[in-house]
């Protein structure tokens, strides 16, 4: 993989709710995310996007778009940004079903890490996924994350408590990988 990514980030636009609202109806997304399933109205989704347009404390959110077409395909997040401890956590959703399974998740994670480490000056980025979400775990590993452990019975899914995979990437690990990608 080179550093010529197929995706890029942009700021959220107020009308993005028209697209993201439909992703909230996608069962495959809800099965793979840590959070619980909830149902939203278009007005709720509009407000959710509006909050990202104007920003939330200690977080940054980006619309993921395809190069060439500018198609909005998902959302990427830096959460719990802690400048004192120089850490944060990442999250992403590839909402557009036709864009899943193409390795775009790894590119999104690398772009999030680049922003966290090279632009915000952070030292540690964490991630967590359902242990059943093997695609996310693989994408994070390919982007330089290492497994730290498992949080047992840490999330409610389908009426039962399930385990979460815990991962992190450190600045030095990312910089080595980034240099390899730039030279490939």
What is the spatial distance between Cα 179 and Cα 156, in angstroms, rounded to a whole number? Answer: 39
Query: What are the tens digits of pLDDT across the range 66-106?
Result: 999 999 999 999 999 999 999 999 999 999 999 999 999 99
CATH topology of domain 7-183: Aminopeptidase (3.40.630)
DSSP string, 41-84: -HHHHHHHHHHHHH--TT-EEEEEEETTT--EEEEEEEEEEETT
Contacts for 69 with CB less than 8 Å, ≥ 6 apart: none
> Where in the chain are the domains?
7-183
Query: What are the tens digits of pLDDT across the range 8-63?
Result: 999 999 999 999 999 999 988 888 899 888 889 999 999 999 999 999 999 999 99
Residue 174: name the closest of 142, 136, 132, 149 by CA.
142
């Amino acid at each position: 993989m080179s550093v010529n990514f197929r995706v890029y980030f942009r700021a959220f636009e107020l009308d993005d709710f028209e697209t993201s609202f439909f992703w909230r109806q996608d069962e495959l997304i809800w099965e793979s995310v840590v959070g619980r399933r909830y149902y939203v109205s278009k007005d709720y989704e509009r407000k959710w996007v509006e909050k990202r347009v104007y920003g939330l404390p200690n977080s940054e959110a980006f619309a993921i778009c395809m190069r060439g077409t500018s198609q909005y395909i998902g959302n990427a997040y830096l959460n719990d940004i802690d400048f004192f401890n120089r850490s944060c956590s990442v999250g992403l959703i590839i909402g557009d079903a036709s864009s899943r399974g193409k390795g775009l998740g790894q590119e999104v994670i690398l772009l999030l890490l680049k922003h966290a480490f090279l632009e915000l000056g952070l030292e540690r980025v964490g991630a967590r996924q359902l242990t059943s979400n093997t695609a996310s775990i693989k994408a994070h590993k390919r982007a330089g994350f290492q497994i730290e452990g498992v949080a047992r019975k840490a999330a409610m899914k389908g009426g039962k408590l399930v385990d979460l995979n815990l991962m992190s990437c450190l600045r030095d690990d990312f910089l080595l990988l980034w240099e390899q990608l730039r030279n490939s």
